[in-house]
Copies of this chain bind each other. A is one copy, B any other.
Amino acid sequence: MTTISPLAPTEFPSLPAVSGVSVATACSGVRYSGKPDVFLASMIPGTQAAGVLTRSQTAAAPVDWCRKVLRRGRARALIVNSGNANAFTGLEGRKSVERTVDKVADTLNCPKSQVFVASTGVIGETLPDDRIRRSVAGLHDTLSPDAWQEAATAIMTTDTFPKGAWRRASIGDTEITLTGIAKGSGMIAPDMATMLAFIFSDAAISATVLQNILSRGIDRSFNSITVDGDTSTSDTALLFATGAAGNRPIVAMNDRRLHAFRTALDGILVDLAHQVVRDGEGASKFVSVNVSGARSARAAKRIALSIANSPLVKTAIAGEDANWGRIVMAVGKSGEKADRDRLRISIGGIRVTDGGRAVPDYDEAPVARHMRGREIDIDVDLQIGKGAATVWTCDLTHGYISINGDYRS
């Protein structure tokens, strides 16, 4: 179970410090012993905050809290634990969050409304927040600018590798840093409610602008990946900008200096999202599904997700079978308009269907070779419009069933 995913990057990136942010981790023993399981980030006064949270109707208590404090858009601290998601824990869950926030606000001497919280781990068990609170003083004493790999590791549950990414960008003459970490391995790992991402920057950008670019960026990254189609009760992506880099603040979406920052942010988000797919439960192949020629971008994304979520497509990929019939099926069931007789499907860049049927005598050898690789490309052109979207997923293997079903006791 602890074998590292065959799709993992070769090493954890060397993440740069972000001016105005310091981080620390500790072993609080929420569930695991001897493994760091709490992560604290402290940010300077004035730090702007934005976030995107799960749309689940049964969201966890920390998600409710973040939704509330995000309205103010200011952050001084973020505290995250692994091992217990504090999800479906009733009134007690809300109190756990409040007690934790009190402790952090007290220790860092900041307003409660500027403390963000996230939890990941088992659902439905009361969070032993006393253990987290007991570790806050120690976390505060050991804050440093560099403990990113430790932080990425502390938030892991069933992840097989820590996930991090960074970018640099310029705002005017000022060099800006963005550093991010994430966790996730299956939209929900076994009982492990999941997918967290935290991005920190030293840019001076208003919360409103941050929120706008984060929401759009998430659409094309974390909301464009799927492992099993299941949506966590805890999904949380937060973006913090301290302003310590000293650029003249960006306060409007039409500020042309925003472009480079946005490109860097989008890059980090896609990078981290890909790492989550690469750690998909049981994954042996990384799959890109590119849909074009749909009636709209929204239709293209729905079709791409229909393909990426189809158990029959995913098992065929695991079986290294270029089974385009199942792709046709998945296009057809998406509910979006398609013309069977215009549909073009390519696998590994080789067109396999056209005009409503298989391309006669297409060269199967390069397609078969492509299917044996680790990176699979599926292109679908509907030829009825201009909408396009890309979604990333992994295959569906015996490993997924073993991780999620083979724990009969």
Contacts and interface: CB of A to CB of B under 8 A. Distances in A.
A357 B124 contact: yes
Given A88-B356, A191-B323, A230-B311, A123 B329 contact: yes
A330 B230 contact: yes
16 contacts: A57-B338, A57-B339, A87-B328, A88-B340, A123-B325, A124-B328, A125-B358, A188-B312, A229-B310, A230-B312, A230-B329, A232-B329, A311-B311, A315-B404, A319-B404, A319-B408
Interface in A51-93: 54-59, 87-93
Contact of A329 (B92, B233, B339, B405): B233
Interface centre among A57, A124, A337, A409 (most CB of B within 10 A): A57
Interface string A380-409: 000000000000000111101110111111
A267 interface: no
Contacts of A88: 325, 328, 340, 353, 356-358
B406 A319 contact: yes
A55 B335 CA distance: 8
A346 interface: no
Contacts of A326: 123, 188, 191, 230
A90 B356 contact: yes
Interface string A306-330: 0001111001101111011110111
B405 A325 contact: no
B57 A336 contact: yes
A328 B358 CA distance: 42
A92 B408 contact: no
B188 A315 contact: no
A68 to B, nearest CB: 15
A102 B338 CA distance: 30
Contacts of A396: 311, 401, 405
Chain A residues touching B, majority SS:
loop
Interface of A: 54-59, 87-93, 122-125, 186, 188, 190-191, 193, 228-233, 309-312, 315-316, 318-321, 323-326, 328-341, 343, 353, 355-358, 395-398, 400-402, 404-409
Contacts of A408: 319-321
A328 B92 contact: no
A361 to B, nearest CB: 13
B90 A311 contact: no
Contacts of A356: 88-91
B355 A90 contact: yes
Top 5 nearest A-B pairs (CB, nearest first) are A58-B332, A123-B325, A56-B332, A315-B405, A90-B357
Nearest to A355: B90
A79 to B, nearest CB: 22
A329 to B, nearest CB: 6
A311 B58 contact: no
B401 A401 contact: yes
Given A57-B334, A233-B332, 17 more contacts: A56-B333, A57-B337, A59-B332, A59-B340, A88-B328, A88-B356, A90-B341, A93-B357, A122-B325, A124-B357, A124-B358, A191-B326, A232-B329, A311-B396, A312-B404, A315-B404, A395-B405
A236 to B, nearest CB: 14
Contacts of A92: 357
